[in-house]
Amino acid sequence: MDEKQGKKEHIRLASVVKSVHADLRKKLRSHNGDYETVWHQHCQDQTLLSTYAECMQKLAQEHWTKRSQNRIDWCRLVINEYFLDGGLKKVLQKELKKQTFEENRKQSSSMTADYTENGFTAGGTKTEIAQASPGCRLDNCSPCDIDSYKGNLDNTSITHMCFQETLYSSAKNSSGPETQTCCSVSHEKDDKDCNYGLMLERSNPSSPDIYTEVRLPFEDKIRLLDVGSCYNPFLQFSEFMAIGIDISPAHESVHYCDFLHLETTDPLQVAPDTLSTYLGSLRSPIHRLPRCSFHTVVFSLLLEYLPSPYQRWLCCTKAHELLQHNGLLVIVTPDSHSQHRNAPMMRSWKKAIESMGFSRWRYVKDEHLHCLAFRKTRPAAPPSLLVGDVTPDLLYIPQDLADAAEERAAERSRDPFLQDECEAQEFFQRTWASCRRSFPRTAASHSFNFQ
């Protein structure tokens, strides 16, 4: 196939994929937002699903791989950097430094001198401070007054020195022998001397957290769940124990699974190799998976497939359940515009996903893609806390806004009153523009807002 034919084939395949996405959003509007009905009908259309899967596989394997770095390469690179090349370790070190600093700051604040109008209290001893005022001048004071002021100042200096020494000693004892701290400011002596044992080593093998969190040093294969996998592209990499799931598998290694309706069960309290053996023995179809089972979950070109923001929200919350603590959620979504064109959407996604218990670790705007990686940092917030400006609608895509505008335009065309109103507005706008050209001075003294 020459370059011209390849381009035509690329356009044809992409058109099929986009038409499926657009049809899902159109059906969602026609069903008044009933995403369950729309999704159920979509999953029953096996002919359409097979066509979609075939087109996606051809696009991924025959067209997108021609780029210097495709979406799979980026996902592999960022996952390896996080787990195998020190990314997680750096994050935990930074968190430990911040935690130590905050603890020292709070301890120092509790020991800070209690200033009063005439002095302060430190270590239970109240020391008077000389009051400087316009009426208090040494040349107007008696020798006794001057001696008294000198005594107060000497006592104040001594108390300050003792107080700072107390802060230094207490902070030093609380932060350990490898870190020197004074007045709640932490200074790292040497990276090799820093003690990160609490977060970086298996200091307590009997803790139940060893079954539900990623621990360092990382020695296992990376357990990866590829949602919407199609043909299981991560299976070729030896560092991954890849599980691919899809509603229409295009490869025998991919399991059938409707991720939106996947049931999550209690975490398995087993050794990592036993858990990997269990996941490797899974057979299609998959209806349930244990929570805290995976090191990373990948949504590559998945979220824009779903017609409803609420479905995208459900996918992210389910990924949070399946990830171990410190696990990584990797998201790739298409966008061929410049980085700043849809920057508000990316900020909106960040706000929504971080509210679930994630923290964004990496973001890259590729020529045609947004590439994001979120680290699981805490348990999910209860549904009752998801109020105010944090709603599933934050996970919108540009097509949602375009579809809404198209729907409003269609509604206006169906309503005679709205149509006449729009025509009248356009008439007045044209008339006013003509007046401005004919009578610029008169028009300059008037202003109208046609909206």
Whole-number pLDDT of residue 174: 47
Mean per-residue pLDDT, 283-312: 97
Distance CA 2, CA 309 (A): 40
Percent of the chain scoring above 90 in pLDDT: 52
**What rounded mean pLDDT belongs to the chain?**
79
198 vs 226, residue with greater confidence: 226
- Reply yes or no on whether the pLDDT at 118 is more than 90: no
38-52, 241-255, 389-403: lowest mean pLDDT where?
A: 389-403
What is the band of 5 on the pLDDT scale with cuts at 50, 70, 90?
Answer: confident
How does pLDDT run across 405-442, given as a tens digit for each residue?
A: 665 555 556 555 545 555 556 656 666 566 666 666 55
- Reply yes or no on whether the pLDDT at 249 is more than 80: yes
Known binding residue 388? Answer is no
What is the band of 168 on the pLDDT scale with cuts at 50, 70, 90?
Answer: very low
How does pLDDT run across 325-339, given as a tens digit for each residue?
A: 999 999 999 998 887
Known binding residue 228? Answer is yes
Whole-number pLDDT of residue 416: 53
37-51, 56-70, 175-189: lowest mean pLDDT where?
A: 175-189
- Reply yes or no on whether the pLDDT at 259 is more than 90: yes
Whole-number pLDDT of residue 386: 58
How does pLDDT run across 36-52, given as a tens digit for each residue?
A: 999 999 999 999 999 99
| Residue type at position 405 | A
Whole-number pLDDT of residue 188: 46
Whole-number pLDDT of residue 451: 46
- CB-count burial class (<10 Å; 0-12, 13-18, 19+) for 157: exposed
Whole-number pLDDT of residue 392: 94
What is the band of 178 on the pLDDT scale with cuts at 50, 70, 90?
Answer: very low
- Reply yes or no on whether the pLDDT at 237 is more than 80: yes
Q: Which residue has the tokens 């009426």?
A: 135
446 vs 340, residue with greater confidence: 340
42 vs 109, residue with greater confidence: 42
